[in-house]
Structure 1
């Protein structure tokens, strides 16, 4: 009978570590993590799933702004042409006042120029009006594109804020586990 009890004792010795020994081993592993565990604890990088869409919308906004600048330059060019036409009309009228005598040929040329200037002024006014409409429509397109970008940028900022909060919480959790494990280890050894 004693032989059976002795054999049972020997078997229990070789059965493996006790529950207490296993807990101590786990505490040491947490207190002194090996390199593979340290690699697992590294922070994952922030990734915004809509980054490509955000980049596309940013490039679209840049394109809309470039079109607006082109339309504004076109409108400014039309305004300059109208101002040049008005200056030319004033110069012709001034030179007329200085002439002591005006020939019939000069009168015909002046009348022809005035008809041209009047029709050109009407045409330029229509073009300026149309250009103003295109500029207004393009400004709306720029505002719309800007809003689309801002919506995604705000969403990205919110997600980044949430990600940072999660990383901070995970770091705090891991730090707390490490402190508890070291405390348990020091308590056992002390």
Structure 2
């Protein structure tokens, strides 16, 4: 019997490559989100530190210039935080879209893999049947050659 050949092998390979590409995009999006989240946390820590220093300076007695400069830093930090939140929201939407793409492509790959497995199972069944028929022919041929008759 000839070797098993899955007629959609090229399509399966293409879909697998596409799935890997989409997973790569998802990984980059998740890494970007993680980076933004780390940046947000650092900025929040810096702002807390500025707030703490400002409180200490106020208790000790400070100048208007010093208070104004810390206020400017805090306002700037709040704006940066807002920008980061907006970027996080945008990237979360992209991640969700990409997740749907990955799931869809993954389902296509799974369908082709299941079809391949089913055809391989049918091939093995046909191969076993053919082998069984060859053995039966060989056994019946040897009976005929040896002059043994069936009762």
Q: Say whether the fold is shared (TM-score over 0.5).
A: yes
Q: Structure 2 matches for 1:133-172, cutoff 5 A?
A: 133-172=93-132
TM-score calculated relative to the size of structure 1: 0.75
Q: Quote how far apart the aligned CAs of 1:98 are.
A: 2.1
Structure 2: segments with no counterpart, 5+ residues: none
Runs of 4+ in structure 1 over 6 Å off: none
Is 2:90 the partner of 1:130?
Answer: yes
Q: Quote how far apart the aligned CAs of 1:111 are.
A: 1.3
**Which residue does the alignment assign to 1:67?**
25
**Which residue does the alignment assign to 1:118?**
78
Distance in 2 (CA, whole Å) between partners of 1:45 and 1:110 is 77
Q: Structure 2 matches for 1:14-29, cutoff 5 A?
A: none
**Which residue does the alignment assign to 1:184?**
144
Distance in 1 (CA, whole Å) between partners of 2:97 and 2:65 is 48
Structure 1: segments with no counterpart, 5+ residues: 1-42
Q: Structure 2 matches for 1:22-101, cutoff 5 A?
A: 43-99=1-57, 100-101=60-61
Aligned length: 146
Q: Quote how far apart the aligned CAs of 1:117 are.
A: 1.1
TM-score calculated relative to the size of structure 2: 0.94
CA deviation map 1:10-66 (0-9, x unaligned): xxxxxxxxxxxxxxxxxxxxxxxxxxxxxxxxx311000000100000010000001
